[in-house]
Structure 1
């Protein structure tokens, strides 16, 4: 259980059941996108080989406002499966609006460059030696049991660029990856990203990529260096500690679990479906420098701890940095999470964001 500092707004529960009365003869359909259930519907459409698009900007149609991230399924290109769409929408209780044409009242029309076609991604998940089994298992379970979307499992020690020829997304759960420590193997994977691939990295996997200098950098590297320089200048004996104080010293550098408020750039597809804030479960002090050439989608500023315990020596470190980001790399990108967005599959808050990373980023 966690105590929180902020007052939480509480409202009565309302069912998400949607009773759609849809015609397979419509020009197209607009699907609300603001929850993991909506992402599951998107996964079902892609799995069934529908041509699906999403809106990068808000728009209005027939007097109704639609948010960025709205899913668009047009009759053109899907002529032979419109009844299947109606059936899937009913099965997923999706909130669907029929449209009679491709022109909107405000915003960008459906043929605009601000409306993106979603390519069905081929997804690979690394497992095996060096990979945190719980972290890999939770991702596998999410795809297999919740998204119902195919994912290929490959042993992390065996992966090479040849395995990725038909893949679009490579997921690196928390772990220690040898190929990121090997110059040639790492360069081959990096080249795959530059050619249009996408890596999604959590926890220590993201930290390893940061150390490999692929475009984003761990904030604590500079902080630790400054502290070391300061220690050398002021106290040459600072590392000498008393045995009786060992528990106190350990607690000061420990973070068994704390919830931090993250400010989101919800204009980026990674954060579609979210408001201006997100809550991350931090199990480490990992945080990254603000990127100039990338997208700082989720940042922690000062006094962002909402609940849990953080050792006093770590509190100053976990602020003014990026915890969720997208680093463009050639034609591809690296999506990184300083923390596990779906920790043990109970951290519901991050499931939609992981789905966004797979389906929407870099489309």
Structure 2
């Protein structure tokens, strides 16, 4: 093989395209000729084209079939049906004893007396969780070949002492989407002009998965199939090092952790950062050898445990982020010269090898660190517990318990109902989590409340407290005597219809999946109503928003209706009560305070100008959680769509132009309900569809700010993601289904709305001291009290509804999903 050119970044791609081959990436040495090269399988050199996921998987399977160093498994599939493969790479001798190695490795985390000095270290290497940061997954082609085929003594010694868990594509759907874009826009004569179409993907771009989620925020919440697979692997193996290969702006070089020291989560042990810095020396040495520029400790952070490079840090492992300046195609002009795709691949490959070298040489030290981490965790845990639940909503409670179990956290039933801090924790609707367990640090991280920080800048959110996110009641320092038996696997109860009725059926609106049940009923063509007041029937109490399905004048007879509702209740996990009388204590079933519900036909504006994450979360909520249709209308063809067929239009956070405003105005005036999020609220107000009074904060006064730190001062004024408390008027339809008088809201904007002078027009209003968890600047903290995050106003025959913040954040903010559903089913009554 020809000797690789060294400084690719300064050489024109037209020359390189003719000369590039596998030798550019892999070190010189002897290679097993029986191991197929990437080109022999995928029909092009590594870096000549962007690898498609199907070709990547094909090569991984060929490697596994041809090498006794590699085994392969399929851990599931993405939303688009692509396999989630994992390669285990180690010596043939280790493969023969792989289950014993795994068992002993886990045992060592439970028993400090286990001798680990002769055990292999476990390294999880993951690539391209952002699909359009593709150099990582393309580097896997060379990495897999090298580990399978190299016959050098160094590689054989490495594999003898290392178990490598290779995740070739953390985001198969996004990788495939981006490869299609880059390849279909590639010219024969590569054009590095950044203005070329090749370097400007169309919406929603390849960063995200099918439902447009940033999957590098889901390691802790674990809501997506890709995350579930990798988290299961993580806890099965408890790797000592986990690497996460990314890309960043084209004018950047190469970054490796540690990040900015002051932005490390306080729950992360200092030794973790010390080891990360020691490993960094290996990256620097390897990149120096090939003449690549790099930096460390200047940007990025280790604060939010939902990222791939930070999640390991709270689990006894060492997470390492790599960020490569991106070519975003095949070659692009940058401040550093022409940045080519092969150059970015080689840097990722080099960092992957330097990680393995560090793991090999620091093996015993890192293995012992993991042992000490869990030993300290057990010894410092309190012999108390936490409890969470919702006495009227089993589903939200179940989904939180489900997340804990995915992380191998032990949970118990509540032995019997009890009250704590004015809340009722009901058996079957609540769980107790003992703190004296192996993963107690992880439990603390999930429910962490923090309002003071060393640094005021965050790469991601500053708060994610799970009891607030899931909208459940919560208490700490609970006696373990409250705990019942340990729960092996949480299950979500099936719903039921209590009895056949000749009058009608009542369904409380408190349960999480009631929107799914109601939509199924309406789509069947059945009539349903909702209550505007509280009442009692048959000894049962029913709250605002209770759904009434009368028996008379339905398209199904009484027997068929009963049987259909049984199916609905079971599939939606809700209880439906058959009543024997319409006479209530309070409003009767024939009262005008039961309002008819119109079958919704919902559309959502998507495309250029709309935040893809936000629209994807809404799409996922409708499609995956509630089995509801939402028609996504792209801004490209909005002008040609007949809007009259829709009852509701959702506009996520956006920066829309005004060319379609008259069309939307006319639709609302004729009776439509428009629901706008965040910046869309400004757009609707500026076009006189809703009257809003905005408030704004001053910039914090900080004396003697240097020019160097000017950007840090302005950055500290943003709310990057924090949690705030609001009081709610439960009689207003926006709040139907909530049992408490206060709610926790996620906020990542500085969009502040002044309240209306009439209190009934402020059904959700921040309290006078609203910060529950997270960072907010001093000046913003002065403005937010008593402002409102929600407004609704009449416009013609329709309604305009706005939220200042996302009610569906990252699919794990279960606690506020019902706010959006209330606008869908009750929006015309607000």
Question: One fold, TM greater than 0.5?
Answer: yes
| Change in CA separation of 1:292 and 1:189 when aligned onto 2, cut-off 3 Å | farther
| Change in CA separation of 1:300 and 1:259 when aligned onto 2, cut-off 3 Å | same
Query: Are residue 90 (structure 1) and residue 570 (structure 2) matched?
Result: yes
Give the match for residue 268 of structure 1: 732
Deviation per CA, 1:56-111, whole angstroms, max 9, x where unpaired? 1001112221111111011013233402122212332322211123222x221222
Query: For 1:43, which of 519, 527, 541 is the aligned residue?
Result: 519
Q: 2: distance between equivalents of 1:316 and 1:30?
A: 45
Task: Tell me, yes or no, if the aligned pair for 1:57 and 1:108 is still in contact at 8 Å.
Answer: yes
Q: Which runs of 5+ in 2 are unaligned?
A: 1-444, 452-467
CA drift at 1:312: 2.5
| Change in CA separation of 1:66 and 1:18 when aligned onto 2, cut-off 3 Å | farther
Classify the secondary structure of the residue corresponding to 1:362. Answer: helix
Query: Are residue 59 (structure 1) and residue 535 (structure 2) matched?
Result: yes
Q: Which runs of 5+ in 1 are unaligned?
A: 229-237
CA drift at 1:116: 0.8
Give the match for residue 288 of structure 1: 753
CA drift at 1:244: 3.2
Give the match for residue 723 of structure 2: 259
CA drift at 1:248: 4.2
Q: 1: distance between equivalents of 2:744 and 2:503?
A: 39
| Change in CA separation of 1:306 and 1:52 when aligned onto 2, cut-off 3 Å | same
Give the match for residue 605 of structure 2: 126
CA drift at 1:249: 1.2
| Change in CA separation of 1:167 and 1:45 when aligned onto 2, cut-off 3 Å | same
Deviation per CA, 1:259-306, whole angstroms, max 9, x where unpaired? 000111111111101121111111111121213588322111322011
Between stretches 17-26 and 187-196, larger displacement belongs to: 17-26
Query: Are residue 190 (structure 1) and residue 665 (structure 2) matched?
Result: yes
Classify the secondary structure of the residue corresponding to 1:9. Answer: strand
Give the match for residue 25 of structure 2: none
Classify the secondary structure of the residue corresponding to 2:645. Answer: coil
Query: For 1:135, which of 614, 618, 626 is the aligned residue?
Result: 614
Task: Tell me, yes or no, if the aligned pair for 2:653 and 2:679 is still in contact at 8 Å.
Answer: yes
CA drift at 1:4: 5.4
Deviation per CA, 1:216-259, whole angstroms, max 9, x where unpaired? 32422xx46xx69xxxxxxxxx9x97413314412431221110
Query: Are residue 211 (structure 1) and residue 683 (structure 2) matched?
Result: no
| Change in CA separation of 1:296 and 1:15 when aligned onto 2, cut-off 3 Å | farther
Q: 2: distance between equivalents of 1:47 and 1:4?
A: 45
Query: Are residue 349 (structure 1) and residue 815 (structure 2) matched?
Result: yes
Query: For 1:332, which of 793, 798, 816 is the aligned residue?
Result: 798
Between stretches 155-164 and 58-67, larger displacement belongs to: 155-164
| Change in CA separation of 1:321 and 1:256 when aligned onto 2, cut-off 3 Å | same
Largest Rg, 1 or 2 = 2
Task: Tell me, yes or no, if the aligned pair for 1:218 and 1:286 is still in contact at 8 Å.
Answer: no
Classify the secondary structure of the residue corresponding to 1:145. Answer: helix
Using CA pairs under 8 Å that are at least 6 residues apart, name the structure with larger relative contact order, 1 or 2. Answer: 1
Calculate the TM-score normalised by the size of structure 2. 0.39
Q: 1: distance between equivalents of 2:595 and 2:647?
A: 17
Query: Are residue 72 (structure 1) and residue 559 (structure 2) matched?
Result: no
Give the match for residue 710 of structure 2: 246
Give the match for residue 321 of structure 1: 787
Classify the secondary structure of the residue corresponding to 1:26. Answer: coil
Q: 2: distance between equivalents of 1:196 and 1:332?
A: 4
Between stretches 54-63 and 9-18, larger displacement belongs to: 9-18
Q: 1: distance between equivalents of 2:670 and 2:825?
A: 18
Calculate the TM-score normalised by the size of structure 1. 0.86
Query: For 1:29, which of 501, 505, 516 is the aligned residue?
Result: 505
Q: 1: distance between equivalents of 2:498 and 2:537?
A: 17
Deviation per CA, 1:97-137, whole angstroms, max 9, x where unpaired? 11123222x22122221101111011001111111111111
Computed over aligned residues only, the root mean square deviation of the Cα atoms, in angstroms, reads: 2.8
Q: 2: distance between equivalents of 1:147 and 1:357?
A: 15
CA drift at 1:36: 2.1
Deviation per CA, 1:157-177, whole angstroms, max 9, x where unpaired? 432495211110000011111
Q: 2: distance between equivalents of 1:62 and 1:3?
A: 42
Q: 2: distance between equivalents of 1:77 and 1:23?
A: 19
| Change in CA separation of 1:22 and 1:306 when aligned onto 2, cut-off 3 Å | closer
Q: 1: distance between equivalents of 2:676 and 2:806?
A: 9
Q: 1: distance between equivalents of 2:741 and 2:492?
A: 22
Q: 1: distance between equivalents of 2:714 and 2:520?
A: 47
Query: Are residue 304 (structure 1) and residue 780 (structure 2) matched?
Result: no
Give the match for residue 144 of structure 1: 623
Task: Tell me, yes or no, if the aligned pair for 2:500 and 2:578 is still in contact at 8 Å.
Answer: no
Q: 2: distance between equivalents of 1:116 and 1:292?
A: 27
Give the match for residue 234 of structure 1: none
Query: Are residue 114 (structure 1) and residue 613 (structure 2) matched?
Result: no
Number of residue pairs matched by the alignment: 345
Give the match for residue 389 of structure 2: none
Task: Tell me, yes or no, if the aligned pair for 2:723 and 2:771 is still in contact at 8 Å.
Answer: yes
| Change in CA separation of 1:8 and 1:92 when aligned onto 2, cut-off 3 Å | closer
Give the match for residue 201 of structure 1: 676
Q: 2: distance between equivalents of 1:9 and 1:74?
A: 40
Q: 2: distance between equivalents of 1:272 and 1:308?
A: 27
Give the match for residue 642 of structure 2: 163
Q: 1: distance between equivalents of 2:501 and 2:474?
A: 44
Classify the secondary structure of the residue corresponding to 2:753. Answer: coil
